[in-house]
Structure 1
Amino acid sequence: MRRPSLTTLRAAGALSATLALALTATACGDGGGGAKSGGELAGTTVTVAGVWTGSEQKNFKKVLDAFSAKTGAKTVFVPSGDNVSTFVGSKIEGGNAPDVVLVPQVGVLAQFAKAGWLKPLSEKAATTAGGNLAPVWKNYGTVGGTFYGLYFKAAHKSTVWYAPDALEQAGVTEPKSWDELLAAGRTLADSGRPAFAVAGEDGWTLTDWFENVYLSQAGPEKYDLLARHELKWTDPSVVTALTTLAEVFEDERLVAGGAAEALRTDFPGSVEKVFGPEPKAGMVYEGDFVGGVAKDEYGKKPGEDAKFFPFPAVGGGKAPVVSGGDAAVVLKDAENAEAGMRFLEFLATPEAAEVWAGAGGFLSPNKDVRPEAYADDTARATAASLVAAGDSVRFDMSDQAPAAFGGTKGAGEWKLLQDFLRDPSDPRRTAAALEAAAAKAYGN
């Protein structure tokens, strides 16, 4: 899902890896400031790695603090960067694996499990999760019949966020279809503010654009087939979706600053362009977490001066509902793997989810989280929609793919869609390139 980012460096051995971890912990702080004196895990440090930066990292540390207060364990958060696979591999190789990793891609979770890196969920964690998560979330965390990954944070990735004053000034209302979306965007541009801030520097945002268009146009059955690479990327349905997406990418009225500027804009920067002190666009497409960034970084109130509408239906299709999520896993060879599993048992409870829910910028797939725990009505309604969708949710397609195709900065789908943003003139050529990269990554 969303993965604001820094480059991941490979550790050069056990000593350098240890030094790097110490430096990171010093720079980022820890979540154990409120550790319970004499708690059952007193004297134990649980190291947790994840992609989160900025406000997301700050709010997750509140969850770490709650665990520390409950158990006495000290907690340290280590940013993994976008390439979680490379990061974890380097830490294992260096003999300094974190205890817990928050994995944002189903394909990477499966890769870790097949490599023998993961510890199965304890009976307590599995039972708790089985009672409060829809089966689809357990399925995404299961590899070869073994339950490894606990989905803690979910995302509703079919939301388009906008500055109400921009739409009001342009005299446009929330669009209900793709054609209305393009028309509204061009009207916005004519009023003085380009339509979309596109975060093209982060390739994962472009995969999300494609997935929403494809799910609506091609339908859920083909979406599932393409996600498993049982349908080739050269299929006409893919070319059609790319052609539709090109309607946005090729129009400088719709992309603030054009492709060149978009390719220099990361996800946090795209939110700033809409909700920051000097707005340069009226809308930003991404998941529900946009609201949290707008609130924490720019003081916007979701539902008031930061609103969203559902990603509209494309052509004759239905409005898409694409989700994503971050699964917590325990590395079995980590120094404190048992304490790490205790942390997952905590994450499986509504208590843990409600800590972040109150801070904002968070959705839980846990049906037992109290609606009143969410920070605002917008988050409350979005969370209810996600939970109500149950097994009909379609998980982010790129997150289901092998990391080499769907989850690596500068490679695979991320890079090829960045190339397509740069030059969207030949959807068939892009589809062929995507198929070649997918065939290599999937091994078929």
Structure 2
Amino acid sequence: MMFSTSGTRGPRTRSHDEHTRPHARRRALLTAAASASLLAAACSSGSKGTQATPSLTGDCAQYQAYAGHSGTTVTMFASIISPESDSLQKSWAQFTHCTGIKISYEGSNDFESQLGVRVSGGNAPDLAVIPQPGLLAQMVKTHKVVKPPADTVSNENNWAPIWKQYATVNGTFYAAPMSANMKSLVWYSPKAFRTAGYQVPTTWSDLMSLSAKIATSGKGKPWCGGISSGTATGWPATDWLEEVVLGKYGGQVYDDWVSHKAKFSDPQIQDAMKTVQNWMLNPAWVNGGFGGVKTIATTTFQDAGKPILKGDCWMLQQASFYEAQWPTGTQVGPDGDVFAFYLPAAGSTQTPVEGGGEFVTAFSSRPEVQAVQNYLSTPQWAEARIKVARGWVSANEKVDKTLYTDPIDQLSAKYLTDPNSTFRFDASDLMPAAIGSGEEWKAMTAWFAQGWNTTQVAQDIDSAWPSS
């Protein structure tokens, strides 16, 4: 349901003549008082006396805790761009309508680099939606991040401990989780699979065998891919490596890799990189609809899967949030134009699941900023987003799960909440920002664009790792 945000206050009547006659002055004052009464009646329960905070009624009553800041603006900066950002802005439409707090949102492909520039330049947004815990830690070091208000801290009990851990720096909780996404998925066309007689693979061996079969069929390439994403170019390639490391070697090696106890040059990580090389840098298998291996570096991640709809490629490894990138009218479901299946483990790890998410971080403690921060940490906001967003899953455990009517959301929630899964957050998002959203992205891009070998990629990343 959409709500209008066009409500405006009535004009204030004031006398411009310092020498106006008493009865005219009195008439003007009465007119102003009447206007004020009408305004108060629109937003209050009609109780007598002047109130600093209006009492909201009807559909707006649920926003009472955030009232009292009408006419203010809160700026928000994030990496979420259209079309995904369209539903984000719809999700707080009623909040804005009822509270009068405007959220001025800006999304950018250059978010990771621009946030630091803005913060250091004294032009920080009121709120930033940070997708990397490593970047959050970097921002905390600037001493510009503001600790969340009490209500947001209280709401942290609505998330699993692992999510609170990712939003904590040096023992202090800083940022409420906004969303969760399932990365261990492969997008495909059920209709095309059915016509060709292909079965959805349930093991890594079956997946590789299917890829080889499609490659020799002469009917498109088995895989398509794209890692271009502005200054964040390279991040999808890090996901491919992370999936293999987790699936082949399990959570402990994955954790050691994140902390650099296991280096990129170590045998296990090198072996995982060679698995990715045989998969996504295989000229016989990629990049359907775009060209050869090198085109993966110049194809945007938003466009990467679209050749599936034309039969130019068959599969795309990408997260649940990719659902928002399909063209309008695309049917998503088990019998639709596109759907997704769980990416099988590349080794013996039990149900490996890689996920990601975002964290709402404040750079201001103004009351209206805290009101927005508190609201975004509630299950009520998450449910509002679910109602308007395909491919979006909340990290908040208090969310009514029956609201997930989208089949991809249901599939994602199944694995993200599976107690038997081996869940880990995106590794590059956990690594120091200089690596995870810096040198690793650059080196991984060079792997595809310039044909670097795995040893060269590893040496470049390892040598850039910060000493502390």
Percent of residue pairs identical: 28
Structure 1 residues 379-388 or 225-234, which shifts more?
Answer: 379-388
CA contact (8 A) 1:169 1:191 kept: no
Cα offset, 1:217, TM superposition: 1.0
Q: Distance in 2 between matches of 1:289 and 1:389?
A: 22
> How many residue pairs end up in the alignment?
400
Q: Give the corresponding residue for 2:298.
A: 264
Worse-matched range after superposition: 387-396 or 341-350:
387-396
1:166-223 deviations in Å (ceiling 9; x for gaps): 2223322111222221221232332512112111323100000000000111211010
Task: Name the structure 2 match of 1:377.
Answer: 407
Alignment of 1:26-105 (within 5 A): 33=5, 39-84=67-112, 86-105=113-132
Rounded Cα–Cα distance in structure 2 between residues aligned with 1:204 and 1:127: 33
1:145 is aligned to: 171
Return the offset for 1:106.
0.6
The answer to whether 1:254 aligns with 2:285 is yes
What is the distance in 1 between the residues matched to 2:92 and 2:387?
14
Matched, 1:214 2:245: yes
Counterpart AA for 1:66: Q
Deviation at 1:94, TM superposition (A): 4.1
CA distance in 1, matches of 2:270, 2:406: 40
Runs of 4+ in 1 over 6 A off after TM superposition: none
Match of 2:334 in 1: 303
The CA distance in 2 between the partners of 1:346 and 1:35, in whole Å, is 21
- For 1:232 and 1:264, the matched residues in 2 are separated by 28
Deviation at 1:226, TM superposition (A): 0.8
2:456 is equivalent to residue 429 of structure 1: yes
The residue correspondences of 1:15-414 to structure 2 (distance < 5 A) are 33=5, 39-84=67-112, 86-130=113-157, 132-189=158-215, 190-201=217-228, 202-256=233-287, 257-275=291-309, 278-294=310-326, 297-305=328-336, 306-332=338-364, 337-359=366-388, 360-389=390-419, 393-408=423-438, 412-414=439-441
Q: How far, CA to CA, are the matches of 1:397 and 1:96 in structure 2?
A: 29
Deviations 1:330-362 (A, max 9, x none): 013xxx743222112111111111122122120
| Equivalent residues of 2:225, 2:305 under 8 A apart | no
Give the superposition deviation at 1:366: 0.9
> C-alpha displacement at 1:311, in angstroms?
1.2
Deviations along 1:373-411, one digit per CA (max 9) or x if unpaired, are 223233124224313449952010000112221113xxx
Deviation (angstroms), 1:279: 4.4
Question: 1:151, CA displacement in angstroms?
Answer: 0.7
Q: Once structures 1 and 2 are overlaid, which stretch shifts more, 300-309 or 49-58?
A: 300-309
Structure 2 CA distance for partners of 1:70 and 1:129, relative to 1, 3 Å: farther
Deviation larger for 187-196 or 88-97: 88-97
Q: Residues 50 and 389 of structure 1: is their aligned pair in 2 closer, same or farther, counting only changes over 3 Å?
A: farther
DSSP-derived class of the 2:357 partner? strand
Q: In the TM superposition, what is the alpha-carbon distance from 1:424 to its structure 2 partner? A: 5.8
Change (3 A) 1:35 1:94: farther
CA contact (8 A) 2:227 2:445 kept: yes
Deviations 1:134-159 (A, max 9, x none): 01111111111111111111111111
Q: Which runs of 5+ in 2 are unaligned?
A: 10-42, 44-66
More helix by share: 1
Cα gap change, 1:390 to 1:399, in 2 (>3 Å): farther
Task: Decide which structure has the larger Cα Rg and report it.
Answer: 2
Structure 1 distance, partners of 2:448, 2:351, is 23
1:78 CA displacement: 1.0
Relative to 1, partners in 2 of residues 1:115 and 1:402: Cα closer, same or farther, differing over 3 Å? Answer: same
Cα distance change, pair 47–375 in 1 and its aligned pair in 2 (3 A)? farther
Aligned partner letter, 1:138: K
The 2-side partners of 1:120 and 1:71 are apart by 23
Q: Secondary structure at the match of 2:180?
A: strand
Residue deviations 1:80-139 (CA, integer Å, cap 9, x gap)? 33442x322332344432111000101000011121111111111111121x10011111
- The CA distance in 2 between the partners of 1:320 and 1:390, in whole Å, is 9
Tell whether the 8 Å contact from 1:407 to 1:414 is kept in structure 2 after alignment.
yes
Whole-Å separation in 2 of the counterparts to 1:185 and 1:392 = 26
- The alpha-carbon distance between structure 1 residues 384 and 315, as it changes in their structure 2 partners (threshold 3 A), is closer
Q: Which amino acid aligns with 2:192?
A: A
Q: TM-score, normalised by structure 2?
A: 0.80
3-state secondary structure, aligned to 2:124: coil
Give the SS at the match of 2:286. Answer: coil
- How far did 1:34 drift? 5.3
Structure 1 residues 425 and 144, CA gap change in structure 2 (3 angstroms): closer
* Cα pair 2:92 2:384 within 8 Å, conserved: no
Provide the C-alpha distance between the structure 2 equivalents of 1:274 and 1:308, rounded to a whole number of angstroms.
Answer: 12
Give the TM-score taking structure 1 as reference length: 0.84
**Distance of 1:35 and 1:97 partners within structure 2:** 29
